[in-house]
Amino acid sequence: MAAAGRIPTTGEEAIYVLSGELDLWLDESEHYHIEAGDTLYFHSPQRHRWLNQSSDTTRLFWVNTPPTF
């Protein structure tokens, strides 16, 4: 299981799940469980965190703009 903390960013983010599943919370008020073939879009300034609650590997195509690296 892997989780990530909050990183302050600007812009937009889009996720496409290639395989596996992922739980994602936005502003602690919205919860999404996404699986292979699902997409999710949100504004980067929203507080967000994610967690793979399964024992399987999750593969994502995750795009954010502007780049944060």
pLDDT 10s digits, 12-21: 999 999 999 9
Distances in Å between the Cα of 1 and the Cα atoms of 19, 44, 52, 57, 68 are 16, 23, 6, 9, 24
Amino acid letter for position 12: E
- What pLDDT is stored for residue 68 in this prediction? 65
Distance of alpha carbon 46 from alpha carbon 27, whole angstroms? 6
pTM reported for the whole predicted model: 0.79
Question: Does residue 26 surpass a pLDDT of 70?
Answer: yes
Residue 2: is its pLDDT beyond 70?
Answer: no
